[in-house]
């Protein structure tokens, strides 16, 4: 894809809803899984908008629940594409709540998350995405931090694969030594 790129604002998305009694866990606050779906939905909308088509969740890198959400709270999720690779995108999400029973000058941050989406074609194969163009210093900071997360993710995956290969090689070596033992 030879597109010049799309500014961050092109794909910024906000999703809002009021939490209800069906969203609660056994403790009476909103279930983490409900918030995770909300986060995935808003991030997916941002990724689809940026890439101009279907994008699937490849990984949820980090989700942090900062404050409990309660029934009646008006919750807003903000998503933007922080970084783009060849076919993948990191989407950052911030979730804030307006308490139904408290007047507060600032909404409360209740969760943050980073997700990796991959743009796919009709066959489900990765397709290229236009680069994201950060528009201000905050977008540039998010771009740099997303790159750090990607490097950590890749090096962690490589380290785990090496460790697994070593474990398998050790297991094979032990089995081989067992076979060679005299009766
Ligand atoms: C995501 C998926 C399309 C990747 O396919 P793949 O053939 O493994 O892709 P590749 O190895 O060629 O990698 C493609 C890109 O995805 C990235 N990627 C793949 N797996 C990833 C992972 N687990 N975490 C982060 N990035 C990942 C690669 O880094 C690469 O990025 P780049 O093109 O920007 O460099 C495939 O694994 C898939 O379909 N997964 C299921 C998705 C799904 O069902 N999600 C839930 C419902 S939406």
Q: What is the pLDDT of residues 109-132, one digit of tens each?
A: 999 999 999 999 999 999 999 999
Full-model pTM: 0.90
Query: How far apart (Å, rounded) are the C-alpha atoms in residues 110 and 64?
Result: 8
CA distance readout (Å), 56 to 9, 112, 147: 21, 19, 20
116 close to ligand 1 (CB < 6 Angstrom): yes
C-alpha span between 106 and 100 (Å, rounded): 13
Q: Is the CB of 91 under 6 A from ligand 1?
A: no
Q: Is 126 in the pocket of ligand 1 (CB under 6 A)?
A: yes
pLDDT digits (tens, 9 = 90+) for 61-97: 889 999 999 999 999 999 999 999 999 999 999 999 9
Domains of the chain, earliest start first: 6-134 (3.10.129.10)
Neighbours of 12 (CB within 10 A): 16
The pLDDT tens digits for 140-183 are 999 999 999 999 999 999 999 999 999 999 988 877 777 777 66
Query: Ligand 1 centre and the CA of 21: distance in Å?
Result: 35
Residue 147 near ligand 1, beta carbon < 6 Å: no
């Amino acid at each position: 894809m030879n597109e010049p790129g799309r500014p961050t604002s092109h794909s910024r998305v906000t999703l809002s809803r009021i939490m209800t009694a069906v969203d609660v866990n056994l403790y009476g606050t909103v279930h983490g899984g409900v918030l995770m779906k909300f986060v995935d939905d808003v991030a997916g909308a941002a990724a689809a908008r940026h890439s101009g088509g279907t994008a699937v969740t490849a990984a949820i890198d980090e989700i942090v629940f900062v404050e409990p959400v309660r029934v009646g709270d008006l919750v807003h999720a903000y998503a933007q594409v922080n970084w783009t690779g060849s076919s993948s995108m990191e989407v950052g999400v911030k979730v804030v709540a307006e308490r139904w029973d408290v007047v507060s000058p600032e909404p409360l941050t209740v969760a943050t998350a980073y997700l990796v989406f991959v743009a796919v074609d009709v066959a489900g194969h990765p397709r290229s995405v236009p680069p994201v163009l950060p528009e201000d210093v905050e977008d540039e900071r998010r771009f740099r931090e997303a790159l750090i997360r990607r490097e950590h993710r890749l090096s962690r995956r490589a380290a785990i694969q090496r460790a697994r290969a070593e474990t398998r090689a050790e297991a094979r070596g032990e089995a081989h030594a067992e076979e060679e033992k005299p009766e």
